[in-house]
Structure 1
Amino acid sequence: MIGRKVPRVEDDRLLRGKSRFVADLAARTDALCVAILRSPHAHAEIERIDDDAARQMDGVEAVLTDRDLEGIGTLPCDWAPPGMLWEVQHPVLASGTVCYAGQPVAAIVARTRAQARDAVAAMDVRYKLLEPVLDQEAALELGAPKVHEPGDNVALRKRRAGGDYERARRSAQIVIARRLTNNRLAPSPLEGRAVLSDYDPVTHSLTHHSSSQLPHVHARALSDCLGFPAHRLRFVSPDVGGGFGAKLGFYAEDVIVALAAMRTGRACAWIESRSDTLVGTTHGRDHVQYAELTATRNGRITGLKTRIVADLGAFAMGMGPGIPAINAGLSVTGPYDIPNVVSEVTAVYTNRMPTGPYRGAGHPEATCLIERMVDELAMELQLDPAEARQRNFVPPEKMPHKLPTGFTLDSGNYADNLDAALSAFDIESFRKAHGSSGRRIGVGIATYSETSGAAPSMGMAAVGFRRAGHESARVVMHPDARVTVFSGAHSHGQGHATTLAQIAADALQIPLSAVEVVQGDTSVIPFGTGTYNSRTMAVGGSAVHRAAWRIREKLARIAAVKLQCLPKEVVYAEGTFTARRRGLRGRAFLALRRLEDRVKARVFNRITGLDLPGGVRGRQAVPLAEAAREAHLAHDVPLGLVPGLDETEFFDPKDMPASYGTHIVGVEVEPRTGHVGILKHVIVDDCGQVINPLLVAGQIHGGAAQGIGQALMEDAGYAPDGTPGATSLMDYALPRATDLPDFEISHTVTPTKLNPLGAKGAGEGATIGAPPAVVNAVLDALRPLGVRDIRMPLTPERVWQAVRDAE
């Protein structure tokens, strides 16, 4: 089953409207509706909240402000890496001061959504405006407004160095320095966040449904915030319509809705609007990057010094601080063998929406930096950009390769991967075919590497990550030989019900239709870490693989009794156990097994006075279904064998595998309008062993679309007064099908040795590689006009203005 293009088994149900998203579940109940009053200001003191009018309105059951939250904790920061100076956590409802536009100030609980919204409009909140700080570099200036008292705006300083950069700079023949930016993005999953909570006062239990990527992690966070017994909390994350990292965050609405259910004695629900998504769900990226690269005249990079200034927004929330400090800061060398490196990260608080993970989470930011700098080196030396990369790749013979910043690239052949992409693109033919169009034609290359599957658990604490690195799987084979897989990973569109079933079906050699995958319910699944950092196949899939193989080995022991052979002599194929030809050792074992049968029968007779039925021995074959039934009945099994077929595995890898790939993009640019059209986009991906090529292609398509969105159109900017520039999809531009080319996808395959599947991360690679490839292509097209840099996103206005400025 592994490696086959199996259509997603969950699609039929979803396409026929038989989904179970949180909003679907809420619609089938008489749950009260929750609406959130959000701050319209970026920075202000709350002088007074008058909720009298709201409390008197028809249908209003409760009003919650900070006064009603005594004993309720703040939202956790999951990742406070070494170098964290102070950690300001997000309050559930604003207390005294609001620190960004969109921050929850109060909540209304009413019988209908319309009544709840009307009551929000009736709330009278008086603010005293304070000066906001809306830019990370401005936040570092002497005398800048303080987001939080009494400290300054610097939340974190992290420095990591390897080699001797200063010596490399002194001896360098080429030194290139650039200031780059990585724009702020608003993850926009098709399904917004949603919460449904129901409290049972008789059993003192809480059932909480939430659109989450981390059911067990968020169950712990909710328990801690409420001070609620964890064993009485059932956290369910049903169908999830996209996450992209935004649903890794644990938000105020989860606590508010649960608290409302406990206070009112009624089920309560909150459904996010698109406006809520843009102003109240964590943003991604937002780095200012300073890079200095040293090299020889033949294009060999000798050193890299980077300084990243990252905007955390108003609070340290979820994974926010760790993304720039660890994922970006330690990955700035990409797939290149750069011996001397200094990486500095400064993360600051500003009066903007907190930032958190967004697909790739730090790796796109690091890749944009190094890929722009390698292109700049190629231009400086008038060197082919592909050749500049080939001269600096970490060669296969140096794998595993420890980076100067500390991470390890476990395996890879980057040169072969780039060659495969160049063969698929044929740059010279592309330029000839489109060079007469009258528009500017450009080609951009980007290569990337990504360490994924955050692990091992013992290493998480060393980087300040307050999560586990393992993943759980429980595999149960029933007496009819059908299988249920309980996975601690969680799907939000990737197709885990298919790929995890493929892994189990492959190990047990059963039809895919005989496997059911269960995720997202903490009451039935062993503690799981969840889905992020492209970890599900490499870590969660490996847990399924190991648990399934233990069941297969147990079945082989049962079959060996009937086949009268050693367990290692059992052969399993096409649902049937048979025995290899017995050697001398096998004949000796057969005699021992017959003696064991006689002893069992005599002891049983002496105890019970009954004759023990003798099992049929010397069988030629044992069907899987018979062995499975025997495992549950335990009538005729080896002595000491525990009945049942139920195996649980917590797979905790020793290190993180590094996936990689190459993107080559061909564009045409109209200088008079600034329009950029993508004509060709070739992607050669290497995610190790591919479980399902069809689903991997889908992940690459979606990832590339999001990467192109960042490069050309998406920008979650702010007005000078701190109000969000985008509060609806009329303001925030997402890529449409007409903006995208037909992606040409192929693979090289370099299995990892860090897990039994040989699998690496596949879900984020295209989002990492696409943005710098697109930017490099546009700059290649406009370089003859004198354009050297354009800040992302490369909107028509910015491209047009860059051409005018160059002229």
Structure 2
Amino acid sequence: MKFGLGQPFRRVEDLRFITGTGRFTDDIHYEGELFAAVVRAPVAHGVLNGVDVSAAREMEEVLAAYTADDLAADGIGSLPVIIVLDHVNGEKMPLPAHTLLAGGKVRYLGEPVAFVVATSARAAQDAAEAVMLDIDDLPAVVEPADALAEDAPELFAEAPGNLALHWRLGEIDAADAALDASARVVELELINNRIVVSSMEPRNAIGLYDAEAGQFTLVTGSQGSHMIRDFMFEGVFGLPADRLRVITPDVGGGFGMKAIPYPEQALVLYAARKLGRPVRWQSSRAEAFLSDTQGRDNASKAWLGLDAENRFTALKVETLASAGGALSAFGVYCPTLSGPPMAPGVYKVPVVATDVRIAYTNNAPIDAYRGAGRPEAAYLIERLVDKAAREIGIGPDALRALNMIPPEEMPHTTATGVTYDSGDFVRVMHKAMEAADWAGFSARRAVADGKLRGIGLAYYIERTGVPGKEGARVEIATDGAVIVHVGTQSTGQGHETTYVQMTAEALGLDPACITVKTGDTDHPIPSAGGTVASRSMVHGGGAVKLAAGALLAKASHAAAKLLEVNERELDFDDGLFRVPGTNRHVGIVDVAAKVGGLEGIGDFEQMIGTFPNGAHVCEVAVDPETGFIKVKRYTVVDDFGRTLNPLVLSGQVHGGIAQGIGQAMTERTVYDPETGQLLSGSFMDYGLPRADDVPFFSVTTQNTPCTTNPLGIKGAGEAGAIGAPPAFVNAVVDALSGLGITHLDMPLTPSRVWEAVQAAKALARQTSYD
């Protein structure tokens, strides 16, 4: 079919985006609406003796100024912690309240302490600046290791020693014994740097309240309206979730950060109920740097054992991770349930153990960021394997191929208990090396232009599709219009295009007549899990397939009656029901018109993840005089099971690579270690990658169909961000290896590279003198 699955069908949503007719939260307005501003903590840690809002309340245009005392008096609760785990000793992890506004103490720079509402945005901001805070400064701690030290300032009385969670996967004693018995042990310490999410559209929220019906409405950019409603409402307001309608229009980027509820979303609802008018809040870019959840931020030490034949024997990892100054919804998920199970990557490692300690620190809360734990796992094992190959003196591809799980052993259950259903890792790696002209690199390296050239290989595997359900409803109206209702929310991925393709193929219809509707909890679908963990096509695609099939079954039954034949006698093709051997037929749209419309409902459940994987090859040139790195070539071969739309797919991979290179080369959130003040609080100070920092990418696939998903697909949205950091760092280390440099921590900024080069040269000079 011309527009069916597998075809490079151009994105249907792009017309409204490039013509400025998209409808984002800030484009939506209501009569009589009010404007809100947040008063944020100007220090990272301190005793909050008082919040004086009297001057703000007296200002012209100001209708209200709320504090934590006001919320407590009205019985407003705290934001939820979705993932709750036990300590390694069996004790329950502490759950300090994450209140909408701070009371008694502030624990990170930018924490909300008051909420001001006025008739204009300018008046609200002026009033926010008039709020007086009485704060006694306390010492701040921003690094997990420092937070867990004996003399560290304590953030929460409920969490002695700032320990949010001590968690373990696998048996440390068994890993130590296997390492002791190994012929060689390779050791590596590395940092996965803290990242600001930097979505194109900052966060926002509009709250409305219908006093007569007792119903709330929240309009907000999110990664799933149902998720925000179900996570937030009952815990904060103590009311059934069906009292809240959440509407998410177009969204300009999420990357995990918009999957969770925030204080401001609840505050606009609270204010709307108190004031009887719509209340809107829009984050500034400066506020986003302070108050959006941030990503990554952990430090690990790892040991990889090898036997005499260079086969892996054991892997042990010790990780210190940051929770930030409040425990976010999925704050402990990334360094525990997500990353460590994927620690062995695509390799046969008989014994694996990971010990994780998560600390409260005086900076923004940590939560999911594109990949959510799997990039950390892939970075660790791929840097470790590359270091092992260099120490042994064999090719990085040869060591990988020797230890990769072969396709004939699929399905394969790793030492961490994860079962990979399919994959041919060696074949994918070799295809990527061939596409990157790995064999010809030695000639390129020899170019005499003063640059140090390097090539890096990394192989990633991730688990996508958080277990659960996703629903869909497909309708054909009497006028032929087709509407697809799904629960996953696009934040730029191209969901509409792919869902249109799936429906067009299933029903044999013109894509132009199909509309996809998402983001409104009032549109009934049987279940909705939202857009996280690359699950939209894995789960949402399964739901659309079921819904279209259910509609087709109803249409077939009705068509048989219209054509006066047994249903088993009908053929269906290209939108038409035909009676074979005759010229009798009826279109599915005509059937819908005659029976008053057609509807199909699908409720898809998948409890087993899918495992996309692939090889990244990065080639760089490093200027030793300046430390500047130029990415010369970048090649990726992925296994996504099945390609639904190569254009949409390549766009997702391109964006992920850019984010991965950004983390590896330029991005780092920096807090002053003594005060907790943010030193990288704008794009003047934070190194978001620019277009000229990345090359054109070569992206292809070598698919092995997924056996656990009815469409045969493996989630693809986060893959680029997982494979890029280790490939880039491996390439730079390869370029600098002649100087004796074996590791550099991300980001590999020019200054950091230059300093490493100078230190290596100085050491070489000292060695020659000795």
Q: Relative to 1, partners in 2 of residues 1:448 and 1:162: Cα closer, same or farther, differing over 3 Å?
A: farther
Counterpart in the other structure of 1:553: 553
Q: Which amino acid aligns with 2:453?
A: I
Per-residue deviation at 1:562? 4.7
Select which of 155, 158, 161 maps to 2:167. Answer: 158
Write the deviation string for residues 655-675 of structure 1: whole angstroms up to 9, x where unpaired. 111001110000001111111
Select which of 715, 737, 740 maps to 1:761. Answer: 715
**Structure 2 residue matching 1:206: 3-state secondary structure:** strand
Q: Relative to 1, partners in 2 of residues 1:422 and 1:348: Cα closer, same or farther, differing over 3 Å?
A: same
Counterpart in the other structure of 1:520: 519
Counterpart in the other structure of 1:17: 20
Note if contact 1:89-1:317 (Cα within 8 Å) is conserved in structure 2: no
Counterpart in the other structure of 2:442: 431
Note if contact 1:487-1:525 (Cα within 8 Å) is conserved in structure 2: no
Distance, in Å, in 2 between the alignment partners of 1:104 and 1:519 is 31
Per-residue deviation at 1:343? 1.6
Distance, in Å, in 2 between the alignment partners of 1:751 and 1:105 is 51
Write the deviation string for residues 436-477 of structure 1: whole angstroms up to 9, x where unpaired. 22110000011000110011xxxxxxxxxxxxx111111112
Counterpart in the other structure of 1:331: 342
Note if contact 1:453-1:533 (Cα within 8 Å) is conserved in structure 2: yes
Counterpart in the other structure of 2:648: 695
Distance, in Å, in 2 between the alignment partners of 1:434 and 1:786 is 17
Q: Which amino acid aligns with 1:508?
A: L
Note if contact 1:654-1:754 (Cα within 8 Å) is conserved in structure 2: no
Per-residue deviation at 1:654? 3.5
Per-residue deviation at 1:553? 2.0
Note if contact 1:475-1:544 (Cα within 8 Å) is conserved in structure 2: yes
Note if contact 1:133-1:146 (Cα within 8 Å) is conserved in structure 2: no
Q: Which amino acid aligns with 2:432?
A: A
* More moved, 85-94 vs 488-497: 85-94
Select which of 200, 207, 223 maps to 1:213. Answer: 223
Distance, in Å, in 1 between the alignment partners of 2:103 and 2:194 is 27
- Aligned: 1:471 with 2:470: yes
- Aligned: 1:541 with 2:495: no
Distance, in Å, in 2 between the alignment partners of 1:32 and 1:709 is 38
Note if contact 1:488-1:525 (Cα within 8 Å) is conserved in structure 2: no
Per-residue deviation at 1:561? 3.6
Write the deviation string for residues 114-136 of structure 1: whole angstroms up to 9, x where unpaired. 11111111111111111222110
- Aligned: 1:663 with 2:667: no
What TM-score, normalized by structure 1, do the two folds share?
0.90
- Aligned: 1:114 with 2:117: no
Note if contact 2:294-2:364 (Cα within 8 Å) is conserved in structure 1: yes
Question: Which residues in structure 2 correspond to 1:253-652 (within 5 Å)?
Answer: 253-436=264-447, 437-455=449-467, 469-526=468-525, 527-563=527-563, 565-580=565-580, 620-632=584-596, 645-652=598-605
Note if contact 1:447-1:663 (Cα within 8 Å) is conserved in structure 2: yes
Note if contact 2:445-2:452 (Cα within 8 Å) is conserved in structure 1: no
Counterpart in the other structure of 1:39: 41
Counterpart in the other structure of 2:752: 798
Counterpart in the other structure of 1:592: none
Note if contact 1:299-1:377 (Cα within 8 Å) is conserved in structure 2: no
Note if contact 2:617-2:727 (Cα within 8 Å) is conserved in structure 1: yes
Distance, in Å, in 2 between the alignment partners of 1:564 and 1:736 is 64
Distance, in Å, in 2 between the alignment partners of 1:248 and 1:281 is 11
Select which of 622, 635, 646 maps to 1:682. Answer: 635
Distance, in Å, in 2 between the alignment partners of 1:422 and 1:117 is 55
Write the deviation string for residues 137-165 of structure 1: whole angstroms up to 9, x where unpaired. 11222232211014321111221227943
Note if contact 2:187-2:301 (Cα within 8 Å) is conserved in structure 1: yes
Distance, in Å, in 2 between the alignment partners of 1:90 and 1:431 is 55
Counterpart in the other structure of 2:7: 4
Per-residue deviation at 1:401? 1.2
Distance, in Å, in 2 between the alignment partners of 1:34 and 1:538 is 39
Write the deviation string for residues 532-556 of structure 1: whole angstroms up to 9, x where unpaired. 1000001101100111012112222
Note if contact 1:162-1:404 (Cα within 8 Å) is conserved in structure 2: no
**Structure 2 residue matching 1:451: 3-state secondary structure:** coil
Select which of 713, 718, 728 maps to 2:666. Answer: 713
Note if contact 2:549-2:600 (Cα within 8 Å) is conserved in structure 1: no
Counterpart in the other structure of 1:612: none
* More moved, 374-383 vs 169-178: 169-178
Select which of 704, 727, 734 maps to 2:688. Answer: 734
Q: Which amino acid aligns with 1:160?
A: L
Per-residue deviation at 1:566? 4.2
Per-residue deviation at 1:57? 1.1
Write the deviation string for residues 209-257 of structure 1: whole angstroms up to 9, x where unpaired. 0111121121123422123443232110101000011101210000111
Per-residue deviation at 1:52? 1.4
Q: Which runs of 5+ in 1 are unaligned?
A: 456-468, 582-617, 633-643
Distance, in Å, in 1 between the alignment partners of 2:269 and 2:132 is 25
Distance, in Å, in 2 between the alignment partners of 1:48 and 1:480 is 62
Q: Which amino acid aligns with 1:318?
A: A
Give the number of equivalent residue pairs: 746
What TM-score, normalized by structure 2, do the two folds share?
0.95
Select which of 133, 140, 145 maps to 1:132. Answer: 140
Over the aligned positions, Cα root-mean-square deviation in angstroms equals: 1.6
Q: Which amino acid aligns with 1:305?
A: K
- Aligned: 1:78 with 2:82: yes
Per-residue deviation at 1:619? 6.9
Distance, in Å, in 2 between the alignment partners of 1:482 and 1:120 is 49
**Structure 2 residue matching 1:305: 3-state secondary structure:** strand
Counterpart in the other structure of 2:250: 239
Q: Relative to 1, partners in 2 of residues 1:223 and 1:166: Cα closer, same or farther, differing over 3 Å?
A: closer
Per-residue deviation at 1:297? 3.5
Distance, in Å, in 2 between the alignment partners of 1:266 and 1:546 is 42
**Structure 1 residue matching 2:166: 3-state secondary structure:** strand
Per-residue deviation at 1:805? 1.8
**Structure 1 residue matching 2:571: 3-state secondary structure:** strand
Distance, in Å, in 2 between the alignment partners of 1:135 and 1:654 is 36
Q: Which amino acid aligns with 1:99?
A: R
Note if contact 1:555-1:631 (Cα within 8 Å) is conserved in structure 2: no
Q: Which amino acid aligns with 2:648?
A: L
Note if contact 1:79-1:322 (Cα within 8 Å) is conserved in structure 2: yes
* More moved, 769-778 vs 419-428: 419-428
Per-residue deviation at 1:430? 3.0
**Structure 2 residue matching 1:664: 3-state secondary structure:** strand
